[in-house]
């Protein structure tokens, strides 16, 4: 049974990274490769994986450019290792994600609003879950990135062809700054999933306070 605040909801939009798919193993490996690159190109650097990771965790709470800060500190702007198949293959669905998406897709229409590479639908198809989504707004495909509200308005334009209103849509994601805040700014409801990198983020007022919070994606079935 859904919570009263979600009665009448017709569409659920999902973030992908650290909401549906666990990116932490990929990022930790990527941090290690970045440190290797920095130390190879800048032998004087005393950077360690632990230091880089700690900086990443602090930065991710408030910025998407966390790596630029530490690379500047190390005088190694070319140090960040680009995302590729090596890293993606380390990512997996969160426990219960597939079963949850399957169950929800029988009661709602599901969509994606995510900062992801253009290949994201293919990756999700390989994981066996893309079939549950009826629409996708992917940053590399539309040329917009969160927290730009325009990205969320694109999703609303898609559902408006069915007569669906913003308040009949819910954004589900792990980040307050890039999921909750922009979603609520365009009239959507919001559910925060407390998993991944950004669990220490806190809301600052009604404008970025989610309508509900769950510990993990599988817990969505308790409130929707």
Q: Which residue has the higher pLDDT, 88 or 31?
A: 31
106 and 166 inside one domain: yes
Beta strands 92-93 and 21-22 are antiparallel
User: What pLDDT was estimated at residue 72?
Assistant: 66
Looking at the whole model, is its pTM more than 0.75? yes
Higher-confidence residue: 167 or 55?
A: 167
The interaxial angle of helices 49-60 and 24-41, nearest 10 deg, is 130
Of 88, 121, 142, which closes a domain?
88
Torsion of CA 98, 104, 108, 109, to 10 degrees: 0
**pLDDT category of residue 24 using cuts at 50, 70 and 90:** confident
**C-alpha–C-alpha distance, residues 130 and 14, integer Å:** 12
DSSP 177: I
Q: Looking at residues 118-130, what average pLDDT do you find? A: 94
Domain check: are 76 and 146 in the same one? no
Q: How many domains, in total, are found in the chain?
A: 2
Closest alpha carbon to 169 in 181, 183, 149, 182: 183
- The burial of 82, by beta-carbon neighbours within 10 Å (0-12 exposed, 13-18 middle, 19 or more buried), is given as exposed
Q: What does the chain come to in residues?
A: 224
Residues 172 and 80 placed together within one structural domain of the fold: no
CA atoms of 27 and 133, how far apart (whole Å): 26
CATH label of the domain that carries residue 160: 3.40.50.1000
Pair (13, 119) in one structural domain: yes
């Amino acid at each position: 049974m859904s919570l009263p605040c979600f009665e009448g909801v017709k569409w659920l939009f999902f973030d992908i990274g650290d909401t549906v798919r666990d990116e932490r193993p990929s990022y930790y490996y990527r941090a290690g490769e970045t440190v290797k690159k920095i130390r190879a190109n800048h032998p004087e650097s005393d950077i360690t994986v632990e230091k880089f990771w700690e900086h990443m965790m602090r930065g991710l709470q408030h910025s998407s450019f966390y790596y630029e800060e530490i690379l500047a500190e190390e005088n190694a702007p070319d140090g960040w290792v680009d995302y590729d198949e090596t890293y993606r293959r380390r990512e997996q669905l969160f426990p219960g994600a597939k079963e949850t998406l399957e169950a929800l897709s029988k009661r709602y229409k599901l969509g994606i609003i995510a900062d992801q590479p253009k290949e994201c639908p293919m990756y999700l198809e390989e994981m066996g879950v893309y079939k549950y989504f009826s629409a996708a707004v992917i940053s590399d495909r539309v040329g917009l990135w969160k927290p730009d509200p325009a990205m969320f308005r694109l999703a609303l334009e898609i559902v408006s062809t069915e007569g669906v209103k913003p308040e009949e849509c819910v954004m589900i994601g792990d980040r307050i700054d890039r999921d909750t805040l922009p979603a609520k700014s365009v009239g959507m409801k919001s559910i925060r999933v407390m998993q991944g990198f950004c669990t220490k983020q806190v809301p600052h007022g009604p404008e970025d306070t989610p309508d509900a919070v769950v510990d993990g994606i599988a817990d969505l079935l308790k409130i929707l």
